[in-house]
Amino acid sequence: MQAVHDLTIEGPGGDLALRVFVPHHEGAGLPVVVFAHGGGFVMCDLDSHDEFCRSMAQGVGAVVVAVDYRLAPESPAPAAHDDVYAALEWASKNAAEYDGDANRIVLAGDSAGGNLASTVAIAARDRGGPAVAAQALLYPVIDDDFETESYRLYGAGYYNTTKAMKWYWEQYAPDGTNDVRVVPTRASTLAGLPAAVVVTAELDPPCSSGDAYAERLAADGVPVRHRRFDGLFHGFLTFPTLSLTAPAREEIWALMRDALAASDHRFSEETR
């Protein structure tokens, strides 16, 4: 990285830590990725995903703003959602200080972070919040439907399990999931959301829900780049020594660059 900045902003629940990764570059106007880490809403932090964020910043060619959102069960939903939304607002106002372009913001996250990225994208649309150019949902935890095909086939013995997923949801949403800030499919429509990159893994219990969300986004008119990695498991992107991880990352970084380029093209067409 050219620079890495640890800083604290005022969040909805008090101090909110961010880590800003600035890749080597010339000039300004880099896209900005606001990134929410995975960990079942209950664990992981800036350090657990530090290497992954560095790889993303370099591979996409973007400033990455990682968010150390509040964790359950001490801070149940929608605390994490609110923190990521606050980070999005901060990035929109402060991107230029890090050579970022506030008009080219991507909301991204892996696993539980993919849930947060998706729900914050909806909130930004509904509240008239900061403009979001794209969303990147990496094996996202979309909902708490444990009866899908992937849960039936891969709910045990493939790293992530149905038992673990049920426990995570109990910690994160003890008051239920009938809230669009918790489950993005509670939204009446997904129309008008930013272009999406949706990545799923075949051997992951939440895979079917992620695939279905990509299909619903497309049905509602959202440009979608959907890639399912067959034979791989939940969380594989954060295993850098796995032989299949590096090429998968490169493919995903390219999909994110493509989504941004398409957004840039639409923006230029609209402003003519």
User: What percent of the chain is modeled with pLDDT above 90?
Assistant: 96
Of 55, 111, 118, 150, catalytic: 111
Is it the case that residue 79 has pLDDT exceeding 70?
yes
Tally of structural domains, the chain = 1
Is it the case that residue 160 has pLDDT exceeding 70?
yes
Is it the case that residue 231 has pLDDT exceeding 70?
yes
Tell whether pTM > 0.95.
yes
Q: What is the model's pLDDT at position 266? A: 67
Question: C-alpha 17: how far from its chain's center?
Answer: 17
Residue 111 bears catalytic tag: yes
CATH number (domain holding residue 247):
3.40.50.1820
Is it the case that residue 272 has pLDDT exceeding 80?
no
Q: With contact defined as beta carbons under 8 Å apart, do 217 and 134 qualify?
A: no
pLDDT (average), residues 71-76: 98
Q: With contact defined as beta carbons under 8 Å apart, do 199 and 138 qualify?
A: yes
pLDDT (average), residues 240-254: 98
- Confidence class for position 264, pLDDT limits 50, 70, 90: confident
Report the side by side order of strands in the sheet with 14-22: 3-11, 14-22, 63-68, 30-36, 100-110, 134-138, 195-201, 224-229
Q: What is the model's pLDDT at position 263? A: 83
The parent domain of residue 265 ranges over 3-270
